[in-house]
Amino acid sequence: MNDSPGWATPGSPSDGQGSEADRPAAPPAGDGKWSAAQPPPGQWSSPGTTPPPPAPAPAPPAPPSRPAGWGSYDSSSQPGGQQPGGPYGYPGAPGGWGGPPPAAKPGVIPLRPLGLGEILDGAVSTLRGHWRSVLSISLVVAALCQIGLLFVQRATVDSALLSTGRRPTDAELADQLGNTAFLYGAQYFLEALGLFLVTALLAPVVSSAVLGRTSTVSGTLKAVRPLAPRMIGLIAFLVLGALAAAFVPALPGILTGNVTAAALGVPVGLVLLAWFYVTFVLAPPALMLERGSVTDALKRSAKLVRGSWWRIFGISLLTWVLRTITAGIIVMPFAGIALFLAPGGFSGLLDGTAATSWTFLIITALGGIIGSAVTVPMQTGVTTLLYVDQRIRREALDLELARAAGQGGAGPVTGG
């Protein structure tokens, strides 16, 4: 995206604080009963003479200018922390110069720091307004991942099922735990692979949606093609790092047959996985929109997340929960059809034989493809909008976006 608004050169952080020279002069001391025209102390004239005219009061400082469409204001630059429009905080209040104009919204989000509802709404609006590009890309990725998962399930589901005929030994429990970990690890590997890949591929689409521009599949692929090697390297690092964080703590217990050690390693792995995912979740959009190296994208993600880890974690977790529920609702009818057509029916589901049949696996995989194609873009859209939001908060990216969208600026900013 060579016409992306300022992605390639991140802006310098701005704290929005005014200097001492910009602050208005303090009012003269007194009890409020003396006229403002009284001469300053030490300059009283002798009786019978005309006092000199008072010095004109200094003009109040002009309010800081912002581009049209800016919808927020830093109250720290006003005396007493007051908002524009006087102490009452609304346009036309006594003593004020009027309230700030509403934020510009050329696309799916307003160009200002975003709230949770605006991020979720922006992700859904991107899916709805750019559905051809979004669904074309996500459907292909979801199909490839589900086909891979289909063969993994068929090869490992037998060994991952627990036998109900007798009590298994500790060694058998450890083996079954290892097989189950491999099955779910492969499932997570493919899901994370698809999630990171769709996030990277759809980042240009979300960028266009933010600016109110249209997008096409060919245009998106053209923008992504030069970054394909770096994208593959970044996704490989993220997926392998996430798998290592999740399963390495439980690996010693699995290898030694110690069920207790393996079970204790599971919560440790979940904590490490959450830290790793949130710290580097913004790396795919950073790579595709800033067009730097893999290392630069990882550093950018860690820098943007720093200080906002819990906020990004909460929004990402909530989005994942919503996506999982929605995907489950979509897959449920397919699971019912698969259960009806699979050998053994409901009894086969209870004893595990249905889960090993190709009929059951293929029909549920079709449901998984449709569910992932519809819901994964929502998660990836939230991730890209979180990247945009963090840059707005840290680097005033909204000014670049407003100029690129033609709202109070000279035109688009070209990326490097």
Tens of pLDDT, residues 91-138: 444 444 555 667 888 899 999 999 999 999 999 999 999 999 999 999
Q: What does the pLDDT read at residue 344?
A: 65
CB 194 within 8 A of CB 142: yes
CA-to-CA distance for 160 and 153, rounded, in angstroms?
A: 10
Query: Where residue 155 falls among pLDDT bands split at 50, 70, 90?
Result: confident
CA-to-CA distance for 248 and 90, rounded, in angstroms?
A: 56
Neighbours of 404 (CB within 10 A): 25
Taking the mean position of all CA atoms in its chain, how far away is CA 314?
A: 10
**Which residue, chain included where needed, has tokens 């057509």?**
341
Query: Where residue 157 falls among pLDDT bands split at 50, 70, 90?
Result: low
**Buried-exposed string 237-254: b where 16+ CB fall within 10 A, e elsewhere:** bbbebbbebbbebbbebb
Helix 170-210 to helix 131-160 angle (10° resolution) is 180
CB 129 within 8 A of CB 108: yes
**Residue 344 host element (H or E):** none
Token pair, residue 372, equals 């992932």
pTM, two decimals, is 0.71
Closest Cα partner for 352 from 161, 123, 120?
Answer: 161
Whether residue 245 is predicted with pLDDT greater than 70 in this model: the reply is yes
Q: Considering only 98-107, 257-266, 272-281, which range has the smallest mean pLDDT?
A: 98-107
Helix 294-305 to helix 358-395 angle (10° resolution) is 70
CA angle 17, 21, 27 (to 5 degrees): 105
Indicate the Cα dihedral angle 370, 376, 381, 383, nearest 10°. Answer: 180
Spatial neighbors of 333 by CB under 8 A, at least 6 apart, are 367
Q: What does the pLDDT read at residue 339?
A: 79
Q: What does the pLDDT read at residue 229?
A: 94
Q: What does the pLDDT read at residue 261?
A: 83
- The rounded mean pLDDT for the chain is 76
Q: What does the pLDDT read at residue 357?
A: 77
For CA atoms 124, 139, 236, 209, the dihedral sign is: negative
CB 18 within 8 A of CB 75: no
Within 86-130, residue ranges assigned H as helices are 116-129
CB 374 within 8 A of CB 326: yes
Spatial neighbors of 129 by CB under 8 A, at least 6 apart, are 108, 209
CB 286 within 8 A of CB 387: yes
CB 197 within 8 A of CB 235: yes
